Structure 1
Amino acid sequence: MVRKIVDSKDPLLRVKSKTVKIIDKKILDLIGDMKDTLDKQKDPEGVGLAAPQVGKNLQIFIVKFKNVSKVIINPEIIEISDRRGKSNADGKLMEGCLSLPHYYSLIKRPGRIKIKYLDQQGRENIEEFNEFLAQIVQHEIDHLNGVLFVDHVLKQDRPLYKYNGKTFEEVDL
């Protein structure tokens, strides 16, 4: 079932998400709904979706890359590198958010992150993500901690752009 994606004004997006205690049918149904929602998202197309974005205060997100979805539950950052990945060296890759559609900025983020997490079968995994995937994972972990990408725009004093279907126009935040 496709769920409504909440917009950036929803207070749930500013709250630290709760740890998932048991991966039961209710959680698996939510994960299925999140996958459906991310798959159906076309304007703009999404590469990640966190549970708070569909109104659930839980530490779950999905990363979609090259048509493969990965479910991440209760992520814990083990290691993060200040080395910038090729994809976002000097913040050259536009970052956006499905809760703030059509707004983008050139966010600088570390190019490598290693996390410990549970998959949807409840198995513990340790995985390293690099470059673009590292950027997506950090963005989604931010959602679980009540942080939006526009917070980084302000902190890094970066311009914010709105995509009007053809071009990017700089806008005030």
Structure 2
Amino acid sequence: MALLPILVAPDPRLKTKAKPVEKVDAETAQLMEDMLETMYAAPGIGLAAPQVGVSKRVIVVDVAPEGEKNPLRMANPEVIWASDELREYEEGCLSLPEQYDAVTRPDRVKVRYIDHQNEIREIEADGLLATCIQHEIDHLDGKLFVDHLSSLKRNMVLRKLTKLKKSDPDLGQPKKVAAEV
């Protein structure tokens, strides 16, 4: 497994629509594992392949409580049903470090995807898991959580990140993590 560099907005690769995965082969399964390792090290609860510079419709999420792991590896995830009930969450993003704002999304979703063993699966998710999956699917469509905000707020965030990138050349680079015992 390997830690991957995370792209930081504004980066044009984050605004590109990712390509579907034909099947989850060994290479895609390895990408999923590398993305999980990168996400845990960041630390985060979700990561999409475009965030690590790979234009594939692949996401990983894990909203398990701290100290536990319950990762989901998804290729070609698609929301096939969404509730009318909405929920607002304070969202952040590994590609927009230290930036947070409230985003309203459907509270529950049903998602179809291909898992890491190339099996078609469906999952019903609610609350934080539903929000996280929708956030990561947005990345696959070239959309960031700030795209759900007013243009004024979005532009303020992107200007802050542009300044931050200029002042910190290591921003987005893999963090060194201590070896597990």
TM-score (norm 1): 0.82
The 5 Å alignment of 1:7-156 reads: 7-41=8-42, 45-66=43-64, 67-84=69-86, 88=87, 91=88, 93-154=89-150
For 1:24 and 1:132, the matched residues in 2 are separated by 29
**What is the CA deviation profile of residues 114-158 of structure 1, one whole-angstrom value per residue up to 9, with x for unaligned ones?**
111110101111111101111101100100000000000127x79
Q: Which runs of 4+ in 1 moved over 2 A?
A: none
- The count of corresponding residues between Structure 1 and Structure 2 is 152
Cα shift at 1:25: 2.0
Gaps of 5+ in 1: 162-173
C-alpha distance in 1 between matches for 2:49 and 2:61: 12
Q: Give the SS at the match of 2:136.
A: helix
Kindly state the Cα deviation for residue 34 of structure 1 after the two structures are TM-superposed: 0.4
TM-score computed with the length of structure 2 as normaliser: 0.78
Letter aligned with residue 23 of structure 1: V
- The unaligned stretches of length 5 or more in structure 2 are 158-181
Separation (CA, whole Å) in 1 of partners of 2:22 and 2:129 = 26
SS in 2 for 1:107: strand
Residue 112 of structure 1 and its aligned partner are, at CA, apart by 0.7
What CA distance in whole angstroms lies between the structure 2 residues aligned with 1:126 and 1:26?
23
Q: Deviation of residue 68 (structure 1)?
A: 1.3
* Distance in 1, Cα, partners of 2:24 & 2:104: 34
Q: What is residue 165 of structure 1 aligned with on the other side? A: none
Could you say which structure has the greater relative contact order, defined with CA pairs below 8 angstroms and 6 or more residues apart? 2
Q: Which amino acid is 1:83 matched to?
A: E
TM-align CA RMSD? 2.0
- Structure whose residues are more often strand by fraction: 1
For 1:15 and 1:27, locate their aligned partners in 2 and report how far apart those are by CA, in whole Å: 19
User: What is the identity, as a one-letter code, of the residue corresponding to 2:33?
Assistant: G
Give deviations 1:46-74, integer Å, cap 9, x for gaps.
11000000000000000111121110110
Partners of 2:46 and 2:26 in 1: how far apart?
22
Rounded Cα–Cα distance in structure 1 between residues aligned with 2:26 and 2:117: 11
